[in-house]
Amino acid sequence: MAPLLLWLPSLTLAYFIHSFGINVPIHDDWTLVEAAASRPFSSWSSLTGQHNEHLIFFPRLLMLGVAALTRHSTVAMVFTSWLLLCLTGAILLRRHQRRSTGPGAAPRLLMLVPISFLLFDLAQWEGAVWAFCLPIYLANFTVVAAVICLERSQGVDRWLAWALASGAVASLSFATGILVWPIGLIQLLLRPAPHRRRSLAVWAAGAASALSLFWARYPMPEAGLPVGPGRALAFVAGLWGSPFSESLAVAAGIGAVALTCAIALLVLARSTRGLLADNAATVALLAFGFLSAIMIMKGRAGMAATYAVQSRYTPIVAIGWIGLYLLAVEVLGARSGSLALGARRLVAVLLVAGVAHASVAGWKHGVTDRRWRSHSASILADYRLQRDEVLAAFLHRDVAMVRRLATFLESNHLSVFAAPDRQGDR
């Protein structure tokens, strides 16, 4: 039963992509077409250039590689994002298997079901059909990998090296990936003292290098109008509630409760000897979700409050929710009695029910978005006959770029032009 429940969310998301994914570049996807048209591997700047506030060197490499193998199929790219989600779930499952032994392992496996639901939540429907969300999934995967590697490290060893490598990839995948360095410091500081000093020195050196590259060399773009403390807090709370509701008010309420529970759990964990140190990785994941919400707030709250519940950011916050859930399981598990056991089960059921409810809305968005993308694919296929305002509305506001790159796609039989008899299909 437990393996079926663990696999069900991932298979559901794969079916969602299969059902609603349409092979057509829209919005930021055109930057990949531009890079392919300019022969990126002969132009270093086309790979290392800044995209908004993000450095996406490794996602560009990955997406251009997938594009080259699939005749620039955006559906193949979103399936690559799904694969990265599966890999993220796999390393979390492996961590659980390593920490759980004995006759109670099977029941504890059921406690991982909410993690699977959070990772593959259909509330992230936008990322599940938009190729250019792949940088988010690569950053999430490498952040989680770095945290797990740090947990296994016993000093300056191969696990620390793997953590540093994962941190480097995360830093050059998405803006929130840079947070791997401060949460890694938190994780190392919470661990027992032996071997910690040298590990901290090496990690701090890596953090200094990454942060100096990120903030000294690359300017941050304008973030819109400044926001007051109240609006900022509401935005962060809304982001935290976004995996469960697309209503800003409801999401903010859920997020406020979750953040309050996080503080209470941290206080309880600190009062139990050795619990925080033993769950330093869990605390790091929780910190990643919280700091990511602050970073997104700084960049998007001044534009519109509704950015807090945009589905593209749901996968980022979900990592924080996984940390919160694992911490709740450990804190409640450290307390004996039927009440603590009942509370753990209740938390798991509430999370699964909340994600299932949000997934219904995500599926409805998928239906609507498929119609829009199908129409966009038809427009691209007949781009020579389309008016400028139509191309701007459905493909990209830079109409001259669209016409130039559409000619490139057509002449090379890529994207919607790869199969002339199936234009607009996947």
For residue 423, name the pLDDT band (cuts at 50, 70, 90): very low
Residue 42 confidence (pLDDT): 47
Q: Give percent above pLDDT 70 in the chain.
A: 88
Residue 217 confidence (pLDDT): 58
Average pLDDT, rounded, for the chain: 86
Least confident of 190-199, 220-229, 403-412: 220-229
Q: 329 — phi, psi (to 5°)? A: -60, -45
Give me 327's structure tokens. 């911490």
**One-letter amino acid of 185:** L
Please report how the helices 134-152 and 180-190 are oriented relative to each other, as an axis angle in degrees rounded to 10.
20
For residue 336, name the pLDDT band (cuts at 50, 70, 90): low
Bridge partner residues of 54 (DSSP): 51
- For residue 105, pLDDT beyond 50: no
The residue that leads in pLDDT, 225 or 136, is: 136
Residues 159, 401: Cα–Cα separation, whole Å: 45
Specify whether the backbone of 310 is left (phi greater than 0), alpha (psi in -120 to 50) or beta. Answer: beta
Give CA angle at 98 (161, 142), nearest 5°: 40
pLDDT tens-digit readout, 141-160: 999 999 999 999 988 889 99
Q: What is the mean pLDDT of residues 93-117?
A: 74
pLDDT tens-digit readout, 172-220: 999 899 999 999 999 999 887 766 788 899 999 989 888 887 776 566 5
> Using an 8 Å Cβ cutoff, are 321 and 352 in contact?
no
> Using an 8 Å Cβ cutoff, are 168 and 205 in contact?
no
Least confident of 5-14, 29-38, 186-195, 247-256: 186-195
Closest by alpha carbon to 294, among 205, 189, 223, 355?
223
Q: Is 47 helix (H, G, I), strand (E, B) or coil?
A: helix
Q: What is the mean pLDDT of residues 339-356?
A: 78
Residue 188 confidence (pLDDT): 92
Q: What is the mean pLDDT of residues 216-232?
A: 68
Q: What is the mean pLDDT of residues 262-284?
A: 90
pLDDT tens-digit readout, 382-396: 999 999 999 999 999
- For residue 139, pLDDT beyond 50: yes
pLDDT tens-digit readout, 277-325: 889 999 999 999 999 999 999 888 778 788 888 899 999 999 999 999 9
Strand spans (E) along 97-245 = none
pTM of the model: 0.92
Least confident of 21-30, 95-104, 315-324, 363-372: 95-104
Residue 1 confidence (pLDDT): 66
Closest by alpha carbon to 64, among 398, 383, 414?
414
CA atoms within 13 A of residue 331's CA, in its CB half-sphere? 23
